[in-house]
Each structure stands twice: as structure tokens, then as C-alpha cells.
Homo-oligomer: A and B are copies of this chain.
């Protein structure tokens, strides 16, 4: 099996970056040769998250067909949100929580979408189904992605599955969801930096 790249959408948010890392960990455990990359630099919120858990930012790629024949998409499926040369590679896996549109393959594939608040929620379910342990640091990252996508479980897209995943990930990562979540969302709006100066 040749190597695959895993990535989220352009202008990545925390879920796009973290879901790629989480699915790369999952697929590696399953025996796939994969690397999590990103289609852009982390935003302020994601930078806060990566720093908090001492996790490096993923390598940024502009094209993929120059290095692989196969890719796996997370947190998106629409071609215009994806890598520019998507039509030159095979898509073998998609894990997503958005509507499906402008997505087409020539071969059968593994596609898993659920109408929940965050891709990292679906990935939490996948780890559970496989009885695969989620490492402490990865649990903290996945928790951050769900907090980000659901605005601390307050967005109208929030489901019971998101709430259950947050409960489980917070326990593994030993994190106080409210205080960490507010600090993280503040970092994203740059309110933290501003109020430091005031």
C-alpha cells in the first residue's frame, strides 16, 4: 500500500487540522501509511490549541498529486474547498459532517458522514467502535475541535453525540471544559491578546 495524505479544507479551522491528525493516528494503527497535512497555516485559535498541547503544526501543502496517488479527506468534501489538484488523485476515505456536494469519485470508497457538530465527534465514535485507546494529547486536541465547531456545545448544530464525545475526551485529557474552552475561543477572537494590553 502506497502512502496517502490526509487533510481538511482550505483556510483550516481547528477541526480541519485536528481531525486530520486524529484520523492519521487511527489509520496508522490500522496499518495504513499516512501523513496528516494541511491546506493552510493554523489560525489563531488553532495555534493556541497546538501550543497548549505542545503539538507541531502540520506541514502545509499546495498540491498533492506531485507526491501521492491517494488522499483521505476530513471535515470537507466539496472540491472547491479542497486541494487544487484533487481531480488528479484517488480519494479512498472521507470522514465529514457537512452536506455532500461537488464531490465525485471514479471508484468505490469508504465515506462516513454523520449530521453531528464536528468531524472529531465522528472520529471519537470510530475510536470507540474499534476499542482503540485515544492518547491523552490527542484527546485534548479532539476536545478542542469539538469546542471550536460547536462553540462550547452552544451552537444549534450540537448533538447528543457531540456532548457525549466532549464528556469522554475531557475525562481522558483531564481538562475542565468550561475554563479551557473559554480561553481557547478567546484566543481565536484575539480578545485575549487585546485584554492583555488594556
Contact A108 B101 (CB under 8 A): no
Contacts of A113 in B (CB 8 A): 108-112
Contact A111 B100 (CB under 8 A): yes
Contact A104 B108 (CB under 8 A): no
Contact A104 B105 (CB under 8 A): no
Most B CB contacts (10 A, CB to CB) among A101, A106, A110, A115 go to: A115
Per DSSP, chain A at the interface is loop
User: Does any Cβ of B come within 8 Å of A129's Cβ?
Assistant: yes
Taken together, the copies of this chain in the complex come to 2
**What 0/1 pattern do residues 90 to 121 of A give for CB contact below 8 A with B?**
00100001111111111111111111100000
Contacts of A108 in B (CB 8 A): 97-99, 113-116, 157
Contacts of A111 in B (CB 8 A): 100, 111-113
**Count, chain A residues at interface, CB 8 A:** 23
Q: Tell me the bound Cα distance from A173 to B98 in angstroms.
A: 38
Contact B100 A103 (CB under 8 A): yes
Contacts of A100 in B (CB 8 A): 100, 103-105, 109, 111
Contact B104 A109 (CB under 8 A): no
Contact B106 A99 (CB under 8 A): yes
Q: Tell me the bound Cα distance from A112 to B157 in angstroms.
A: 20
Contact B104 A115 (CB under 8 A): no
Q: Tell me the bound Cα distance from A101 to B110 in angstroms.
A: 14
Smallest beta-carbon distance A89→chain B, Å: 15
Smallest beta-carbon distance A50→chain B, Å: 27
A residues sitting closer than 8 Å to B (CB atoms) are: 92, 97-116, 129, 157
